[in-house]
Amino acid sequence: MYLDFFNLNKEPFSLTPDTSFFLDSGPFKDALETLMVAVNNGEGFIKVTGEVGTGKTLLCRKLLSSVSRDIVSSYIPNPNISSKTLILALAKELGIKFPVPVSEYGLQQLITAKLMAHHKNNKKVILCIDEAQAMPDKTLEALRLLTNLETEKSKLLQIVLFGQPELDEKLQSRHLRQFRQRVSFSFELKRLDMDIMIAYITHRLTIAGYTGGELFQWSALNLLHRYSRGIPRLINVIVHKSLILCYGKGQRQITRAIMKQAIADTEDAYVDKTGDKTGDKKQGIYKYGLIFSALFLLAGLAIAYRILL
């Protein structure tokens, strides 16, 4: 749509977790370094939490593509499954062939044998689970029991959980205290501050081939940071819409006015703090929309009352 207009070779703000766009600085670098240290340390659960849209899935994919060759990695994107289905998924990820039907105990035995074989070949095995907050309690318990597989010196399976803050709330339950105590490394992905947001946008544009002039007015960047609240997914959505608007208007720079239009068209764009005095129209639209709705309702009731009389 706007790629040729801005001389881009691919879409810079796609929501697809493309690891080529991974920004190796700020909270992303800190998170990846923590994960690499934890994986190399090789014990217990590793937990990464963050609000919706803060880049957990991209971080997970980057981890999987960054581990050394002596690490066997497996990935489960949707853990809202039963304990047997989880074990079945792990067996498939490890390339284990098994008869159908197969019992849960039989699967566990096959997994243990596979893990032992990898250990003898000096290979570590990690399992990355995305959206871990959706995992049922019984499945979490089955996962904990899998980490009991160990030699005298090391675990045979290391598990990395990526989840929303609800995962932390879930693990505070008393009946999951054994699971909670197994978490040896934790990291929380924070929202981006202004400087990191600019670095994030610049990095994506550079990877996509942008070589033009200043793409954003400073006031537009300020507005973007405040209404995206530093959430990478929202930044992507709003900037993508801004580029479309620029293309439609034949403009080469994202102005404050264009950014306002993009924000107004984005459902979850708002300012955290109440009482903001920036004059942004998005909040005004909602406010006056409610007033107009109320007036129309009152007018309709008045008309209906007159008709009935």
Tell me: cis bond preceding 17? Omega within 30 of 0 counts: no
* Predicted confidence (pLDDT) per residue in 257-306, tens digit: 999 999 999 999 999 874 343 334 444 433 433 333 333 344 444 444 44
3-state SS track over 43-100: CCEEEEEECCCCCHHHHHHHHHHHCCCCEEEEEECCCCCCHHHHHHHHHHHCCCCCCC
Structure tokens at 33: 């370094």
Contact 61, 200 (CB under 8 A): no
Please list the residues that pair with 125 across neighbouring strands.
Answer: 72
Contact 60, 128 (CB under 8 A): yes
Quick one: average pLDDT of 16-44? Answer: 90
Hey, how many other C-beta atoms are within 10 angstroms of the C-beta on 292?
A: 10
Dihedral (Cα; 259, 262, 264, 265), 10-degree rounding: 180
* Predicted confidence (pLDDT) per residue in 56-71, tens digit: 999 999 999 999 889 9
pTM for the predicted model, two decimal places? 0.84
The rounded distance, in Å, linking the Cα atoms of 35 and 67 is 10
pLDDT at 156 over 70: yes
The rounded distance, in Å, linking the Cα atoms of 270 and 226 is 8
In whole numbers, what is the pLDDT of the chain averaged over residues?
86
User: φ, ψ for residue 38 (rounded to 5)?
Assistant: -65, -40
pLDDT of residue 290: 39
Number of residues written out for the chain: 309
Q: How confident is the model at residue 105 (pLDDT cuts 50, 70, 90)?
A: confident
Structure tokens at 299: 């007018």
The rounded distance, in Å, linking the Cα atoms of 101 and 80 is 22
The rounded distance, in Å, linking the Cα atoms of 89 and 112 is 14
Name all domains of the chain by residue range, CATH numbers in brackets: 19-189 (3.40.50.300), 194-278 (1.10.8.60)
The rounded distance, in Å, linking the Cα atoms of 116 and 151 is 9
